[in-house]
Structure 1
């Protein structure tokens, strides 16, 4: 699975955290440092498993719940229509 920002959504890093702006609605969503790390990893093409490895590398205490936490974040971003998911090799529409 590859993740990209929905057209019209911008990611603005602010130190270790970030803000997502949905230009279609004018709404902002602030991401904490952990969510920012995971989203950046996903946007870099590492997929959920790669994002989980990065999360555990930087936060070893996240090991038991890393995959579930990433799935929950992806679901929240998907539900808010902020990301587009495509199968590997498939182009986003």
Structure 2
């Protein structure tokens, strides 16, 4: 199953990245530019590996570190129930 925002979660682009707001719980999550890049990659059907690769191409970060950052973000998004899949 591809990653997608839960139906009650809304996103808004900001000058600094993306803000996610869960209309049901009132919780919000602010993603910086690198987090927004990861989320966009995943929501467009990319894999965690592709998101990590996108980070290495955009920022000065090693692939192993980027992969861990992607996994950490995915864990947080799933734990806070911002995403499905």
2:31 pairs with 1:31: yes
Counterpart of 1:77 in structure 2 is: 77
2:19 pairs with 1:43: no
Count of residue pairs the alignment pairs up = 85
Could you tell me how far apart the structure 2 residues matched to 1:65 and 1:45 are? 22
Could you tell me how far apart the structure 2 residues matched to 1:36 and 1:63 are? 18
TM-score under structure 1 length normalisation: 0.83
TM alignment of 1:63-74, pairs within 5 A: 63-74=63-74
The Cα of 1:11 is off from its aligned counterpart by: 1.2
CA deviation digits over 1:1-59, x for unaligned, max 9?
62100111011111241100101012221111111110011001011011111111101
Could you tell me how far apart the structure 2 residues matched to 1:56 and 1:67 are? 9
RMSD of aligned C-alpha atoms? 1.3
TM-score under structure 2 length normalisation: 0.91
Gaps of 5+ in 1: 86-93
> Could you say if the C-alpha distance between residues 58 and 29 of structure 1 is closer, same or farther in structure 2, counting changes exceeding 3 Å?
same
